[in-house]
């Protein structure tokens, strides 16, 4: 069982930055693929970014086109934590952001992720 707890959300002006954190329980965190998704009011939950593991010391990351070049996903296995650095925020980025985890790489296939956090609110004002 893996438990995920997000933090770092808040209110920021357009053009600003926030860093979200997702703390995970479990001793096998390093081998899990981790994803960030978001859900705006009245919209479906959508993929933001994901970070996988090749089995060695190399991780790979992938992003939704809407955030590519502005957001960066990273992980710190010693702290069982994955981060989402969000720069150049836009009002369209306003949403509840969720962290997800799974032993397999599913990228944007949200229905396949086994574990989810409760979410953290990000609000970007214009």
Q: Could you state, in chain order, the average pLDDT of each consecutive group of 10 residues for the chain (126 residues)?
A: 95 98 86 95 97 77 96 92 97 98 91 96 97
| Predicted local distance difference test score (pLDDT) of residue 26 | 76
If we measure between CA atoms, which residue out of 118, 67, 85 comes closest to residue 18? Answer: 85
| Predicted local distance difference test score (pLDDT) of residue 29 | 80
| Predicted local distance difference test score (pLDDT) of residue 1 | 82
| Predicted local distance difference test score (pLDDT) of residue 56 | 67
What radius of gyration do the chain's Cα atoms show? 14
| Predicted local distance difference test score (pLDDT) of residue 119 | 98
Provide the token pair at 118.
């409760």
| Predicted local distance difference test score (pLDDT) of residue 7 | 98
Provide the token pair at 81.
């934590």
* CA–centroid distance for 40 within its chain: 15
């Amino acid at each position: 069982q893996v438990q995920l707890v997000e933090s770092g959300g808040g209110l920021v002006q357009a053009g600003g930055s926030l860093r979200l954190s997702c703390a995970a329980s479990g001793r096998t965190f390093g081998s899990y693929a981790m994803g960030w998704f978001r859900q705006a009011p009245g919209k479906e939950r959508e993929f933001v970014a994901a970070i996988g593991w090749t089995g060695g010391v190399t991780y790979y990351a992938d992003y939704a086109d809407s955030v590519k070049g502005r957001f960066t996903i990273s992980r710190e296995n010693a702290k069982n934590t994955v981060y989402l650095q969000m720069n150049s925020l836009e009002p369209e980025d306003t949403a509840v952001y969720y962290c997800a985890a799974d032993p397999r790489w599913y990228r944007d296939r949200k229905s396949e992720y086994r574990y989810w956090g409760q979410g953290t609110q990000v609000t970007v004002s214009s």
